[in-house]
Chains A and B, each alone.
Chain A
C-alpha cells in the first residue's frame, strides 16, 4: 500500500510538473521586456483537479483494472454484422456508395468545407504514395516532401515560362518527380532503417534549399505566383477568360459563381486520388507489389529466390515519388502560388504520420488517417494553440491502444480451388 501511495503521490506531482509550466504560466510582452504571469485561478483549479484524479487513478490502479475486467465484455458490433461488413461484396458496395457520396456532396456543401476536402484529398494522394515506400517496401523515407516540391515546381515553372496547361504538365510533373525518386534511389540502395531515414531527410532539405536559393529561376523565397488553374476541356473558371479562351459559365450559359471553381478543383483532386487508389490497389495484387512486401520482410530471402533487390527498391522509390509529383502539381494549381516554405520537414512528418496512423500498408487506413489529420486541426481552430499538444496526445494514445494503426492492413485471402471437405 505504501508503495502505491508513493507512486500515486509521484504521479500527481508529475501532473503539476508537466502542466504548470505549459498551462499555468503566461509570457507577456511589456514594452521590450518579457514578463511571466500566473494564469487565471480556473486553469490552476483544472490542473489541481487533474492531479487529484491522477492520484486516485494510480492509488486504486489494481481495483480499477479488476473492475474493468469483471465487467462483461460486450461486443461493440454483433459478430454477424461484423462478418457481413467484411464480406468482399459488401465492401465493394460500401466503396461504391462512398465514391458516389464523395462525387455528389460538394454541390450541397459549403465553400469552406469543399476547400478543406480538397486539401484532405491532396494528403490522401501523398499518403498513398508514401505508403508504397514506407508501408509496403519498408524503406523509411523522411524526405518525401522533396518529391512533392519537385512536382509542384515542375508545373509552376512550365506554366510560368512556357504557358503549358495543367493537364499537359500533370504527367510531366509525375515523370519529373519519378526521375528524382529514381536518382535518390541509387545512392541509398545499400542503406536501411535509420541510415536511410537520415539520407532521405537530407535529400528533402536539399531540394527545398535548392529551390530557395535558385532565385533566378524559381523566384527564391518569394516563389512563383499567379499559376494557372486547371481548365475543364479548355474552359476556365475565372470571371473573365484570357485571350483565346472561353469561360465555363459563358459556355454553359449560367451565372458566374466562384464556388464552381472550388467544386471543380475538388473533383479533379478526387479523380487523382481515386486514380492513385486504383493503381496502387492493382499493384498490390501484382508480382511487383508482392515483391515490395517480400523485400520489407526479408531482403536476403528475396535474393535467394531470384528477386533483384535493386530493381524492387528503385521501383518503390520511383512509383512513390511519381504520386507525390501528381499531388504536387495539383497543389501548385490549386494554390496558385508555390514557395519553398510549403515544403518543409513538417510536411514530411505529417505525411509519415498519416501512413503510420492509418496502419502501415493499409490504403483505407491512409484515407481515414488523412481525413483525421487534416480535418481535426481545421475543425478545432479555436484551440490552435494546443494543436501540437493534441497531436502528441493522439500519437501516445494510438501507441497504447492501436499500435498497428487505425485500419491495419488485411492480408488478402487468396481463394484456393474449392474442394469438397470430407
Chain B
C-alpha cells in the first residue's frame, strides 16, 4: 500500500542477566496506526526506549525510511522525526501551554544568537510563524483558552492532549504514544480516539501506540503487535489478534 516508515527487526535489549526484549520485529507503514499490546511488564516501553534512543539496543536493527538509527543518541533520533510521549506525562510544568509548544518548534526556528539579540526581521518572522503554528495546534487540541496557563495547572486529560500537540509541533515522521489513554475517563478516551483519527486523516500522521484500553486499540489500529515477556507473541490485524488463542492465554492465563 505505501512505503515503510519504520522497520524493526530482531530488536533485543539485555539488562545484565535479564533479557527484557528478545527479537521483536515490527513494521510501520505510512499513515498507519500500529499498536503494541501485552501484559504489564512485557517490555513494551523498553521497546519504545530503544526506538527513541533512550536505551542502546543490545542487538537488532531499526530502519527509519531505510536509514539505520539504532544506537544514535535520543535527541538526534528525535531530530530525524521520531517523537514520543511518555507514560507519565512529561510537560514543562512551570511553563505556559504555548511555551511548551514553542520549545518543540525549536528545531525549525532561527536559533542564531545575534539575530535574536538584535531582533532582526528574519528572527521576528520566524518567531511569528512559530507562534502561528503553536496557535494552530492549540486550537486542534482545544486548549486555546488555556494558552497562557502554566501547563502543570491543566487537568490531566488536557495535559495529555498538550503533550501530543507538543509532539506534532515538531512535524514528526512517526508519532509514538506511550499509553495515551492511561488515567483518562471514557469521554476523554473518546476525544483521544477522535484526535488520533484527525491526526491521521488531516496531518498524514503515522502512529505507533502502546495501550491497554482494548476497545481503543481494536477500533483504531491497522495492525497490532503482541509482546509477552519480551518476545513477540502475535502480529496481525485486530480481527486476527482478537481470535488468537495464544494472545488470550497470555492475557487471561491457562484455562
Closest to A309 in B: B75
B99–A290 contact, CB under 8 A? yes
A297 contacts the other chain (CB 8 A): yes
B210 contacts the other chain (CB 8 A): no
What separation, in Å, do the CA atoms of A287 and B76 have in the docked complex?
18
Counting contact residues on chain B (CB < 8 A from A), the size range is 35 or more
B116–A301 contact, CB under 8 A? no
B198 contacts the other chain (CB 8 A): no
A304–B92 contact, CB under 8 A? no
Instruction: Give the residues from 399 to 420 in chain A that come closer than 8 angstroms, CB to CB, to chain B.
Output: 411-414, 416-417
Instruction: Give the residues from 250 to 279 in chain A that come closer than 8 angstroms, CB to CB, to chain B.
Output: 279
A282 contacts the other chain (CB 8 A): yes
Closest to B115 in A: A286
Encode A37-59 as 1/0 by CB contact (under 8 A) with B: 00000000000000000000000
Closest to A282 in B: B117
B74–A303 contact, CB under 8 A? yes
What separation, in Å, do the CA atoms of A305 and B53 have in the docked complex?
12
A336 → chain B closest CB, angstroms: 33
A205 contacts the other chain (CB 8 A): no
Partner of A306, one of B96, B106, B117, B148: B106
B94 contacts the other chain (CB 8 A): yes
Chain B contacts of A305 at CB under 8 A? 75, 78, 83, 103-104, 106, 166-167, 170
Number of A-B residue pairs at CB separation under 8 A: 114
Encode B32-44 as 1/0 by CB contact (under 8 A) with A: 0000000000000
Chain A contacts of B99 at CB under 8 A? 290, 293, 411-412, 414
Given known contacts A414-B131, A416-B135, A303 and B119 CB-to-CB distance under 8 angstroms:
no
What separation, in Å, do the CA atoms of A306 and B84 have in the docked complex?
11
B93–A297 contact, CB under 8 A? yes
A294 contacts the other chain (CB 8 A): yes
Chain A contacts of B91 at CB under 8 A? 297-298, 301
Closest to A293 in B: B95
B142 contacts the other chain (CB 8 A): no
A306–B144 contact, CB under 8 A? no
B121 → chain A closest CB, angstroms: 15
What separation, in Å, do the CA atoms of A294 and B84 have in the docked complex?
16
* Count of interface residues, chain A, beta-carbon cutoff 8 Å: 29
What separation, in Å, do the CA atoms of A293 and B93 have in the docked complex?
10
B132–A417 contact, CB under 8 A? yes
Chain A contacts of B75 at CB under 8 A? 302-303, 305-309
B78 → chain A closest CB, angstroms: 4
B86–A304 contact, CB under 8 A? yes
A307–B103 contact, CB under 8 A? yes
Encode B193-224 as 1/0 by CB contact (under 8 A) with A: 00000000000000000000000000000000
What separation, in Å, do the CA atoms of A293 and B100 have in the docked complex?
10
Closest to A297 in B: B92
A301–B92 contact, CB under 8 A? yes
B17 → chain A closest CB, angstroms: 26
A282–B92 contact, CB under 8 A? no
Closest to A306 in B: B78
B113–A290 contact, CB under 8 A? no
B90 contacts the other chain (CB 8 A): yes
B167 → chain A closest CB, angstroms: 8
Enumerate 15 A-B pairs (CB-CB under 8 Å) in ascending A order: A283-B116, A287-B105, A288-B113, A294-B95, A294-B103, A303-B53, A304-B54, A305-B83, A307-B106, A411-B96, A414-B99, A414-B147, A416-B98, A416-B131, A416-B135
Q: Which residues of A contact B (CB under 8 A)?
A: 279, 282-283, 285-288, 290-291, 293-294, 297-298, 300-309, 411-414, 416-417
Known: A302-B103, A416-B144. 17 other contacts (CB 8 A): A286-B113, A287-B102, A288-B116, A293-B92, A298-B90, A301-B90, A301-B91, A303-B75, A304-B54, A304-B78, A305-B78, A306-B75, A306-B106, A411-B96, A414-B98, A416-B98, A416-B131
